[in-house]
Amino acid sequence: MVRIPIILLMLFAYKVSASELTFELPDNAVQCFHEIIKKGTKATIEYQVVTGGNYDVDLEVKGPGGKILYKEQKKQYDTFNWAADEDGEHVFCFSNEFSTFTHKVVYMDLMVGEEKPLTKGMESHHTALTQMETSAVSVHEALKSIRDFQTHHRLREAQGRVYAEELNEKVQFWSIGESIIVLIVGIGQIIVLKSFFTDKRPTTLST
């Protein structure tokens, strides 16, 4: 009896297809991903630029036959939900062609299929197992929330780390520049002071 909720959780995980990727997108480049989606299946794609430039990217989602379902330019992050009109291959193309020298790091989360309720098929149970099933649903929902929080926390941590590294690099260059300026000013002051104490011999004119 105890194994029933665990089996149901495993079946639930099998019915939903999810792809979570973090990839590099070079400058002047386009990277596409492909997914076969059946007609009537609901899908969701969420993306966010983690590092690079102004943290923006272009995304185009095409259905079977090249039909454009979604197209946005220079977005930092967004979410798109849709239901497939027909069976076939869907293409997701991320573009960084507008950037001439900055590469990006992009996070993408693609979920295909609806989440079936864990309590489906359990309506006939009227014993103490109902409380166990309810606990299983609560634990499952809590785990999903924790997973989402962890994902967004990792993205924010990555952005913060890159920003801190860039700031540290700028501070180092600024410190080196200030040191060079101080050194040049010090040498200039020494030269000027030395000229004040240099004896100048008067020139004699012959008659």
Q: What is the pLDDT of residues 63-114, one digit of tens each?
A: 998 899 999 999 988 999 999 999 999 999 999 999 888 889 999 999 898 7
Cα-based distances in Å from 178 to 55, 166, 182:
30, 18, 6
Sort strands 88-95 and 30-37 into parallel, antiparallel or unpaired: antiparallel
Give the mean model confidence (pLDDT) for residues 1-19: 43
pLDDT of residue 203: 59
| pLDDT band (50, 70, 90) for residue 16 | low
Check whether 159 has a pLDDT greater than 50.
Answer: yes
pLDDT of residue 35: 92
Q: What is the pTM of this model?
A: 0.64
- Do 71 and 136 share a structural domain? no
- Do 109 and 24 share a structural domain? yes
Rounded Cα distance between 2 and 139, Å, is: 15
- Do 166 and 106 share a structural domain? no
Give the mean model confidence (pLDDT) for residues 14-42: 85
Check whether 124 has a pLDDT greater than 60.
Answer: no
Instruction: Work out the burial of residue 48: count CB atoms within 10 Å of its CB; fewer than 13 is exposed, 13-18 middle, 19 or more buried.
Output: buried
Is 119 part of any domain? no
Domain boundary among 63, 88, 113: 113
Give the mean model confidence (pLDDT) for residues 14-36: 83
- Summarize pLDDT for 39-72 with one digit per residue, the tens: 999 999 999 998 888 889 999 999 998 899 999 9
Average pLDDT over the chain, rounded to whole?
80
- Do 29 and 4 share a structural domain? no
Rounded Cα distance between 44 and 91, Å, is: 13
Give the mean model confidence (pLDDT) for residues 139-158: 79
Residue type present at position 71 = K
pLDDT of residue 45: 93
Q: Give the structural domain span for 160.
A: 1-15+128-196
Check whether 4 has a pLDDT greater than 60.
Answer: no
Q: Quick check: 57 and 120 in contact, CB under 8 A?
A: no
Domain boundary among 73, 88, 113: 113
pLDDT of residue 195: 81
pLDDT of residue 81: 92
- Do 41 and 6 share a structural domain? no
Domain boundary among 113, 137, 168: 113
